[in-house]
């Protein structure tokens, strides 16, 4: 018997208990957060326990967090409540999600890859809106579940008509100093027609 994605992530967050409270926002977000409109609305896709939304909410941003894990979103909601911050979370399977057109000033997508979201993100961003995307790319080291890795050049080609503010490929290293995974970072602005 295999677990569904929601069961797998619910179990992970249940086992981790509060260890995630130490999670920091992604460096890519920290480097470019000042470009996000302060009065805008941000979507955090595959939000999990919400380190990125928590950071942005503390800066006064409005957010909607979406994730397949009820447990992860509930943990984030409790954290926000304790700090008297507004939190809007929704349990959503992003592979089939409907997201309103031109509703968001920024979309965050960290270490989640569902290609069905690419056209959804394009439509959901307002003109001038920012896409933050960071995940793994296929490299010469074969991995299980290759569908969870970007093809080389795939992300930049998908959003080639956006204004590219940052595009970088990095190699992560394992704890033993061995070559690890290839990470792709993208910050792109949807052009104003």
135 belongs to a structural domain: yes
Q: Are 130 and 36 in contact (CB under 8 A)?
A: yes
Axis-axis angle for helices 70-82, 5-16 (nearest 10):
40
pTM (predicted TM-score): 0.88
| pLDDT score at 53 | 92
| pLDDT score at 174 | 54
27 belongs to a structural domain: no
43 belongs to a structural domain: yes
| pLDDT score at 12 | 73
- Rounded to an integer, what distance in angstroms lies between the CA atom of residue 74 and that of residue 63? 15
* CATH code, 177: 3.40.50.150
Give residue 92's domain range: 5-16+39-189
32 belongs to a structural domain: no
Q: Which two tokens stand for residue 84?
A: 């008297």
Parts of the chain with a pLDDT under 50: 1-2, 176, 178
31 belongs to a structural domain: no
How many structural domains compose the chain?
1
| pLDDT score at 191 | 94
30 belongs to a structural domain: no
21 belongs to a structural domain: no
- Rounded to an integer, what distance in angstroms lies between the CA atom of residue 175 and that of residue 151? 25
| pLDDT score at 178 | 46
60 belongs to a structural domain: yes
| pLDDT score at 71 | 84
Evaluated on CA atoms 9, 15, 17, 20, the torsion sign reads negative
| pLDDT score at 2 | 47
């Amino acid at each position: 018997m295999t677990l569904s994605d929601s069961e797998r992530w619910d179990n992970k967050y249940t086992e981790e208990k509060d260890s995630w409270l130490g999670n920091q926002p992604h460096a890519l977000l920290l480097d470019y957060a000042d470009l996000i409109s302060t009065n805008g609305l941000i979507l955090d896709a595959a939000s999990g326990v919400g380190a990125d939304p928590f950071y942005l909410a503390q800066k006064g941003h409005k957010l909607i967090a979406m994730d397949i894990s009820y447990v992860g979103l509930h943990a984030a909601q409790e954290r926000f409540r304790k700090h008297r911050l507004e939190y809007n979370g929704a349990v959503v399977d992003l592979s089939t999600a409907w997201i309103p057109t031109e509703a968001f000033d920024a979309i965050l997508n960290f270490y989640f890859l569902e290609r069905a979201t690419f056209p959804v993100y394009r439509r959901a961003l307002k003109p001038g809106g920012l896409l933050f995307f960071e995940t793994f790319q296929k490299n010469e080291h074969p991995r299980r579940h290759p569908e969870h890795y970007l093809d080389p050049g795939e992300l930049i080609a998908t959003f080639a008509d956006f204004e590219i503010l940052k595009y970088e490929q990095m190699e992560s290293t394992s704890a033993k100093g061995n070559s690890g995974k290839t990470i792709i970072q993208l910050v792109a602005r949807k052009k104003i027609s």
